[in-house]
């Protein structure tokens, strides 16, 4: 009798563990997010609607400079998040950025890209390392970067390639990075205003807490994606 009781207890514990594991694994699925994970699905979507196509910004925009920080250890996590240094964005986003670059070039300036399309699994990884929804996108919601509709950028002098003076470095989570923070050198305020003005003109909204982050207006229609840079580059 005693042996049967112990056997039953062990069975209950094993079943409980299994339930906990299943619930844990399905937590992201429960949030109701639709994430495009297969190349075939992406190909179907971009075939039916060409605006869904992901464009390699370095190929598409002459003179654009990239410094994809998550493909290096020079980011706030100190870890490699991306497997290669690529900047992709949806077709209308790429066209808008090209128009920004054209306008800036008349002033002898250009864009520097720190981050663009971010595969969903990278958002999960960032949140595991730094689980603070105010600073890192919550995987339960996904990021506009996952939709290919957000960019983290700064301005450079075209001649030298040097970044203009800005309020802070990229991914500075202090109050100094807020869009309305004013206790800064006049030059940093002027450059930030130029960046905000030109991005707004070509269809981007800035974020209140990160001067470098811009969302393309109309991002809602583009689905979250988890397709690697390497897969996208093969098709490009």
Q: Which residues bind Zn ion (CB under 5 A)?
A: 152, 213
Query: In the complex with Zn ion, which residue's Cβ is closer, 56 or 152?
Result: 152
Residue 163 DSSP code: B
> Nearest residue to Zn ion, using CB?
213
Query: In the complex with Zn ion, which residue's Cβ is closer, 90 or 213?
Result: 213
Minimum gap (Å) between residue 213 Cβ and Zn ion: 4
Max Cα distance, the chain (Å)? 88
Query: In the complex with Zn ion, which residue's Cβ is closer, 105 or 121?
Result: 121
Minimum gap (Å) between residue 21 Cβ and Zn ion: 33
DSSP alpha helix (H) spans, the chain: 2-25, 27-30, 39-48, 57-60, 91-105, 120-129, 186-201, 229-235
Minimum gap (Å) between residue 115 Cβ and Zn ion: 6
Distance from chain centroid for Cα 149: 8
**Secondary structure of residue 77 in the 3-state scheme:** coil
Minimum gap (Å) between residue 16 Cβ and Zn ion: 40
Burial of 81 (0-12, 13-18, 19+ CB in 10 A): buried
Minimum gap (Å) between residue 112 Cβ and Zn ion: 14
Query: In the complex with Zn ion, which residue's Cβ is closer, 67 or 152?
Result: 152
Q: What is the number of helices (H) and of strands (E) in the chain?
A: 8, 9
């Amino acid at each position: 009798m005693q042996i049967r009781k112990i056997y039953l207890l062990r069975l209950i514990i094993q079943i409980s563990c299994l339930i906990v594991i299943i619930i844990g694994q399905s937590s992201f699925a429960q949030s109701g997010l639709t994430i495009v994970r297969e190349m075939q699905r992406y190909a179907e979507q971009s075939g039916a609607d060409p605006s869904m196509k992901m464009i390699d910004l370095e190929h598409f925009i002459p003179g654009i400079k990239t410094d994809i920080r998550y493909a290096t250890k020079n980011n706030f996590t100190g870890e490699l998040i991306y497997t290669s240094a690529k900047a992709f964005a949806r077709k209308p986003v790429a066209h808008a950025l090209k128009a920004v670059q054209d306008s800036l070039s008349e002033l002898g300036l250009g864009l520097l890209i720190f981050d663009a399309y971010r595969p969903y699994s990278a958002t999960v990884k960032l949140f595991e390392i730094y689980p603070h929804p105010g600073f890192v996108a919550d995987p339960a919601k996904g990021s506009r970067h996952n939709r290919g509709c957000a960019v983290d950028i700064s301005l450079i002098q075209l001649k030298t390639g040097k970044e203009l003076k800005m309020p802070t470095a990229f991914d500075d989570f202090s109050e100094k990075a807020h869009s309305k923070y004013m206790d800064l050198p006049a030059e940093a305020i002027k450059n930030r205003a130029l960046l905000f003005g030109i991005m707004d003109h070509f269809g981007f909204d800035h974020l209140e807490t990160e001067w470098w982050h811009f969302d393309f207006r109309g991002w809602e229609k583009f689905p979250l994606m988890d397709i690697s840079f390497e897969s996208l580059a093969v098709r490009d």
